[in-house]
Structure 1
Amino acid sequence: MDAAPRRADDQAARAANSPLVHDFGLLIKAATRLEQRIDSALRRECGISHTMLEVLIRLCRRPGEDVSQRQLAADLILTSSGTTRLIDRMEEAGLVRRVASPADRRSVLVEATEQGRAAFLKAAAVHSQVVERYFVAPVARDDYARLTGALSEINRALGDPGRPA
């Protein structure tokens, strides 16, 4: 092998094995695997996806608050069409209903139904069990406080006010 391609291979290997790439990879892998565990448990025990739970969290957080489909898309970091399809499925399942906005005829509001609130309560308990087992329990109490503080700082640096969906 020529010296130039060997140098390029060495540089690429150093970049791929850098501590920043490694550490960020750990974060993404842990978050992805936790998301998969939560989603599997919710589908198995409650018949809803984790994304549906996130919608219900947002709708149940402040009773009586008007939440538009546009706000849900922004909060969940979904496309407008993806949000529409998600709300369609949730509406078909009886979890949410769309209502016209009294303040803006162009806007559609989404609210949880009684069935949606009941599903939310069951799903929130399942979610809590999975989070406790795989996110909280493996980490020492002091380290957990530092971890959640650091995640809040990262979200602030990224422009997220720290408000979960």
Structure 2
Amino acid sequence: MDATTRRGDEAARAANSPRVHDFGLLIKAATRLEQRIDTALRRECGIGHTMFEVLIRLCRQPGEEVSQRELADDLTLTSSGITRLIDRMEEADLVGRAPSPEDRRSVLVEPTDHGRTVFLQAVAVHSQVVERYFVVPLAGDDYTRLTRALGEIHKALREG
């Protein structure tokens, strides 16, 4: 067997390894679920999944002051990416901006009344999709184990 064939066989074994396969399943499932959520939110509420994520963050603690920088960090977006997103959301009357009273370089973002209304509609749509494709396919114990395991993975990634 020549070196090229040997490397090809090694590469095939690596590509078909259980860790590569299992992680691929996780990514494919998450990606497809996010696509289903995004499609449903756009169709039913006129917003995409990323806008929904912004509204979740802004509605989580009423009266909390959330800066654009915090939103960018929470959503893992660049400062220019969050600026463009908030621009679009402001144009759609979903959010408003205000200068921070503590830091004149910082801009605070808050949901509008219309944004809260759209968010509540979006939560219902999101819940239906998640229930159908994330909860129902699993037995009760499997769902509990999965969510607990995902929490542990998230914790390890935050700490690591």
TM-score, normalised relative to structure 2? 0.98
2:143 aligned with 1:144:
yes
1:19 paired residue number: 18
Task: Output the CA distance in 2 between the equivalents of 1:6 and 1:53.
Answer: 49
Task: Output the CA distance in 2 between the equivalents of 1:100 and 1:81.
Answer: 18
Task: Output the CA distance in 1 between the equivalents of 2:151 and 2:50.
Answer: 21
Alignment of 1:88-99 (within 5 A): 88-99=87-98
2:85 paired residue number: 86
2:2 aligned with 1:10:
no
Matched residue SS, 1:122: helix
Matched residue SS, 1:117: helix
> Residue by residue, what CA displacement relative to the aligned partner does 1:37-80 show, whole Å, maximum 9, x if unpaired?
00000000000000000000000000000000000000011111
Residue type of the partner of 1:122?
Q
Structure 1 stretches lacking a partner, 5+ long: 161-165
Task: Output the CA distance in 2 between the equivalents of 1:149 and 1:78.
Answer: 27
Alignment of 1:1-165 (within 5 A): 3-159=2-158
Task: Output the CA distance in 2 between the equivalents of 1:70 and 1:78.
Answer: 9
Give the percent of matched residue pairs that are identical in Structure 1 and Structure 2. Answer: 75
Residue type of the partner of 1:97?
G
Let me know the Cα RMSD of the aligned residues. 0.8
> Residue by residue, what CA displacement relative to the aligned partner does 1:118-152 show, whole Å, maximum 9, x if unpaired?
00000000000000000000001000000000000
Task: Output the CA distance in 2 between the equivalents of 1:114 and 1:108.
Answer: 19
Residue type of the partner of 1:134?
Y
Residue type of the partner of 1:104?
D
Task: Output the CA distance in 1 between the equivalents of 2:151 and 2:99.
Answer: 35
> Residue by residue, what CA displacement relative to the aligned partner does 1:24-48 show, whole Å, maximum 9, x if unpaired?
0000000000000000000000000
Residue type of the partner of 1:153?
E
Residue type of the partner of 2:152?
E
Residue type of the partner of 2:130?
V
Query: How big is the shift at 1:3?
Result: 1.2
Structure 2 stretches lacking a partner, 5+ long: none
Count of residue pairs the alignment pairs up: 159
Where does structure 1 differ by over 2 angstroms across 4 or more consecutive aligned residues?
none
> Residue by residue, what CA displacement relative to the aligned partner does 1:89-125 show, whole Å, maximum 9, x if unpaired?
0000000000010111110000000000000000000
